[in-house]
Amino acid sequence: MILYRYIAEALFYAFMILTFMGAFMAVRSQLLMHAVIGLAISLLGIAGLYFHLGSTFLAVMQVLIYVGAVCIMIAMGVMLGNTPRQLAEKNLKGRNLLLAIGSCTAVFLALFATLAQTRFAPAAERIGDMSIQFVGENLLLQYCLAFELISLILLTAIIGSIILARGGRDGAVK
Amino acid sequence: MIISDNLNTYLIIAALLLVIGLYGMIQHRSLIGMLISSEFVLNGAALNFMAFNTFTAPNPAVGQIYTLCIMALAAAEAAIAVSIIIVVYRRFHNEDPAIIQDMKY
C-alpha cells in the first residue's frame, strides 16, 4: 500500500516537471513551432495533475480539448502565417525582458504572500463524489445553464471564426 | 515528502503557470506566441478551480463543471484569435504586434 503511494508521488513530481519544462519551452523558444510543442507537453503535464486531483474526466478532457484541438489549431495558425527568422531570433533578447521579469516576480510574490497568510478550511460536509456520473447529473440538472452557455459560446466561436477568416488570399470577401 | 495531497502545492503551481503566461505575453514578439502564453494563464486559473474543488468545496462537481467551462472558453478564444491573426497577417503581411497600429492614432 505504501509503495503505491510513493509511485504516485514520483508520478506527481514527473508531471510537475513536465508542466514547467513545457511552459519554459513555450515561452523561451525562438521558433513558434517549438513553442506549440512546449504548450502540448505542458498541457499533458497539467492533465496528469488533474488526475492527481481525483478527476479522471477532466484529465481526459484536457488531453482531448487542449492537446487535441487547441494545439492543432495553433499549429495551423503558425503554418498559415509565418514569422520571419530574424524576428524569431529577436524573440529571446527583446527590450521587454526586464519589464517581463520584474512584473512576473512582483505578481508571484504578491500571490505567494497572500497564500502564505491564508488558511483554507475544508467544507464541513461534502455531498456526492468526484465520479463522472455525479458530474453529469449536476451538469444536466442543477448547472444546466453552464452547459447551454458552453454550447452557445462554441457555436458563436465557430461562426465568428468562419466569418472572420473567409475570403481568398488577397483578402477580398466574396 | 508527500506533497501531492496538499492544497498549497497546487495553488503555487497555478500561480507559477500564471506568472509564466504573463512573462510570455510580455516578452513574445509575435501574436501567436502571445496566444500560446495566454493558454497558460487560463490553465493556471483552471488548475486553481480544480484544486479548491478537490480540497475545500462542499460539492465536488461544481469545480469540474467550471473547469470544463474554462476549457470551452479557451478553445473558443483560440479559434477566434487564430482567425483574427490570419486576417491580420493577410492584411499587414507581418505578425509583429509593434507594426500593427492602424487604430492607435
- A9 vs A85, which has greater pLDDT? A9
Domain annotation covers residue B1: no
Task: Report how many domains make up chain B.
Answer: 1
Q: Is B97 on the interface with A (CB under 8 A)?
A: no
Q: Is residue B84 part of a domain?
A: yes
Per the listing, cell 500560446 goes with B36
Chain A positions in Cβ-Cβ contact with residue B37 (cut-off 8 Å): 26-27
Q: Domain limits at B26?
A: 7-103
List the CATH number of the domain containing B15.
Answer: 1.10.287.3510
Indicate whether A38 pLDDT > 90. yes
Cell numbers for B18: 500564471
Contacts of A62 in chain B (CB under 8 A): 71
For residue A89, what pLDDT band results from cuts at 50, 70 and 90?
low
What are the C-alpha distances in Å from A96 to residues A31, A89, B19, B72?
18, 14, 15, 31
Compute the nearest-CA separation of A11 from chain B (Å): 10
Check CB contact of A83 with chain B, cutoff 8 Å: yes
Q: Is the pLDDT of residue A174 over 50?
A: no
Residue B17 binned pLDDT confidence (cut-offs 50, 70, 90): very high
User: pLDDT-based confidence at B3, cuts 50/70/90?
Assistant: confident
Cβ–Cβ under 8 Å, residues B41 and B18:
yes
* Residue B2 lies inside a defined structural domain of this protein: no
CB neighbourhood size of B88 (10 A) = 17
Most B CBs within 10 Å: which of A70, A85, A92, as the mutation test of the B interface?
A70
B64 or A90, higher pLDDT: B64
Collapsed DSSP state (helix, strand, coil) of residue A81: coil
Q: Check if B55 contacts A (Cβ < 8 Å).
A: yes
> Rounded to the nearest 5 degrees, what angle is found at the Cα of A117, between the Cα atoms of A110 and A18?
60
What pTM value is reported for the model?
0.89
Say what the ipTM of the complex is. 0.91
Between positions 109 and 148 of A, the ones with CB within 8 A of B are 111-112, 115, 120-130, 134-135, 137-139, 143, 146-147
What pLDDT shows up at residue A131? 87
Question: How many CB atoms neighbour CB B87 within 10 A?
Answer: 15
B35 within domain boundaries: yes
pLDDT value, residue A43? 95
B6 touches chain A (CB under 8 A): no
Mutate which of A64, A66, A71, A109 to test chain B, going by most B C-beta atoms within 10 A?
A: A66
For residue A125, the chain B residue with the least C-alpha distance is B58
Please report the pLDDT score of residue A61 as a whole number.
Answer: 92
B34 touches chain A (CB under 8 A): no
Contact B26 A23 (CB under 8 A): no
Put simply, whether B27 touches A (Cβ < 8 Å) is yes
